[in-house]
Amino acid sequence: MGVEITEPEISEAEYAEMERFVYEYLAASVEKEDDGGRMRWYPWHSAEYRHNHILNVADLAREIAQKEGADVDVTRTAAIFHDVAKLETAQDRHAEAGARVAREFLRSRGDHPSSFIDQVSRAVENHSYQGPVTDLPLETQCLVEADLLDKVGANGTALMLLRMGYESRVHMDADEMVTRVLERGVDAANRVESETANDIAHRRLKRVKWFREWLQDEIAGMGE
C-alpha cells in the first residue's frame, strides 16, 4: 500500500518559480566569485550545467516518488533545491547551505505548512548521505537515487566525452572514459534500493555498454 499524499499540492507555476529562483541564485553565485569562477573552464561548474542537472534530478525524483508511493511534492521540491548552493560553498557544506536556502524561500513564498518545509529542508540537507539509502525517509531516498542516476547512461557518457575535449585527450581515450561512466553506473546501481531506481539504472547501464561495444568495434586497437 502506498503512502497517502497530503497537501500541499504544488502547481506547475510554483515549480517554475522555484526553478527560476534556483537558476538566478546559481548565476549570482558565479558572478560573486572574485577569481572568475571555480574551474570555470569545465562547463559543469557553470550555472547552466548545474541547473540542467537539477532539472534532470527533479524529473527522475518525481518519477521514482510517483511509482514508490513517496510524497511527490516534497521530493520534487527538494530535488529543485538540492544543489542550489553548489557553486558558492565547498562540496562538504553545500547540502546544509542548500537546506537553508530552501527553507528561506519556502517560508517567504506561498503558505506552506511548517511540516512540508521541514521535510523538504531535511531532504536537501541529507541528499549527500553516503550510507544505505534505506536509512533515510522515502522522499530523501528518492532524491538520493535520482541524484546518483543522472550521470549514468547517455547523459553521463556525453559529459565524460565532453570532458575529454577540455583535457585535450584524443579519441583513442574514449574507451577508458566510457568505462569510467560504466563503473560509476555500476556503483550507482549497487546503492539504489527502490525497484523504480533499479530499473532506470539497468536501462542506462545497457546504453553505456552498447556505446562502448560500438567504440571497440569501430576504432582500431580499442578494447584489446
Give the pLDDT score at 1: 38
In contact, 8 and 37? CB cutoff 8 Å: no
Domains present along the chain, CATH in parentheses: 12-147 (1.10.3210.10), 154-218 (no CATH)
In whole angstroms, give the CA distance from residue 86 to residue 66. 27
Share of the chain above pLDDT 70, in %: 87
Predicted pLDDT of residue 45: 72
Please measure the distance between the N-terminal and C-terminal CA atoms of the chain and give it in whole angstroms. Answer: 50
> Rounded mean pLDDT of the chain?
87
Helix 138-149 with 195-218: angle, nearest 10 deg: 10
Measured CA to CA, the distance from residue 160 to residue 164 in angstroms comes to 7
pLDDT at 176: 78
* pLDDT tens digits for range 176-187: 778 888 888 898
CA-based R_g, the chain, Å:
19
DSSP 8-state code for residue 3: P
- pLDDT band with cut points at 50, 70 and 90 for residue 154: confident
pLDDT in tens, 18-71: 999 999 999 998 877 655 445 454 556 788 889 999 999 999 999 999 999 999
Give the residue among 56, 95, 61 at the shortest CA–CA distance from 75.
61
Burial of 100 (0-12, 13-18, 19+ CB in 10 A): middle
